[in-house]
């Protein structure tokens, strides 16, 4: 009789379920199922625990002889196949899941750096576009004020002279507003460039780390 058949026979003879035997030996129910199916072999310390749980010696457990009284009534070795996935211990499933997530992050984490770099590129493009738009708008607004100087020695009407004085007084206020918007657009542009550079560096670092040979 093979070892897996002995384990199944002695467990049935002791009227133990796979869960009860697993608890006595200190393993999972799936491990007991694999032993009984012949898919795995118990380690030395587990053989001692099994022999103790069955009330037999390790020699009797490892012997190829059929146990006394087994005869024709020995239960078939594949009586209780178990699907290990639904009944796997929660801790084992959690460890496997976290391990898989860790490996995915290590291998493909560089894509996060690429995403950061692309976000920075978008921010920089928005800042450059805003700066260009504000610059063009303010240049078009300020342009006519400078045109008063082209009248040369022509006589200026009182209305035109008053308009020129009003424009000169408000030019400084208008310039401050223009500088504010242009400065704000420049800050956005700089932030975008820095984010893009940081994302590129992060992507390279994570790629090299994820593909480093052990």
Q: In this predicted structure, what is the pLDDT of residue 30?
A: 93
Q: In this predicted structure, what is the pLDDT of residue 60?
A: 84
Q: In this predicted structure, what is the pLDDT of residue 115?
A: 86
The Cα–Cα gap between 147 and 196 comes to 42
Residues of the chain with pLDDT under 70: 68-107, 141-174, 210-214
Q: What is the third-level CATH fold of 3-88?
A: 434 Repressor (Amino-terminal Domain) (1.10.260)
**Residue 38 has what DSSP assignment?**
T
Q: Which of 16, 212, 197, 6 is nearest to 117 (CA)?
A: 197
Q: Which of 114, 118, 115 is nearest to 126 (CA)?
A: 118
Q: In this predicted structure, what is the pLDDT of residue 32?
A: 92
Say whether 99 sits in a helix, a strand or coil: helix
Angle between helix 18-25 and helix 44-54 axes, rounded to 10 deg: 120
Per-residue pLDDT tens digits for 73-95: 444 444 444 444 445 454 555 55
Q: In this predicted structure, what is the pLDDT of residue 150?
A: 45
Residues 6+ apart with CB under 8 A from 77: 2, 4, 5, 8, 36, 37, 38
Taking a C-beta distance cutoff of 8 angstroms, is the pair 210, 107 a contact? yes
Task: Please state the pTM of the whole predicted model.
Answer: 0.39
Determine what percent of the chain falls in helix, strand and coil, rounding each to the nearest 5: 75, 0, 25
């Amino acid at each position: 009789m093979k070892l897996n058949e002995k384990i199944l026979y002695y467990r049935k003879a002791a009227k133990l379920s796979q869960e009860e035997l697993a608890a006595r030996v200190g393993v999972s129910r799936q491990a007991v199922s694999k032993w009984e199916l012949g898919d795995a072999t118990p380690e030395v310390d587990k053989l001692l625990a099994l022999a103790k749980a069955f009330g037999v010696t390790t020699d009797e457990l490892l012997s190829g002889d059929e146990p006394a009284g087994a005869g024709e009534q020995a239960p078939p070795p594949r009586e209780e196949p178990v699907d290990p996935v639904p009944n796997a211990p929660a801790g084992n499933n959690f460890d496997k899941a976290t391990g898989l997530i860790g490996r995915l992050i290590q291998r493909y984490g560089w894509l996060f750096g690429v995403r950061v770099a692309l976000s920075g590129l978008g921010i920089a493009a928005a800042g450059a576009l805003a700066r260009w738009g504000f610059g063009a708008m303010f240049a078009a607004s300020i342009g006519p004020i400078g045109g008063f100087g082209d009248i040369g020695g022509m006589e200026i009407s009182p209305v035109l002279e008053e308009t020129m004085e009003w424009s000169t007084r408000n030019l400084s206020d208008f310039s401050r507003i223009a500088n504010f918007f242009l400065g704000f657009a420049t800050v956005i542009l700089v932030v975008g460039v820095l984010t893009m550079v940081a994302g590129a560096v992060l992507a390279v670092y994570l790629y090299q780390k994820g593909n480093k040979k052990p």
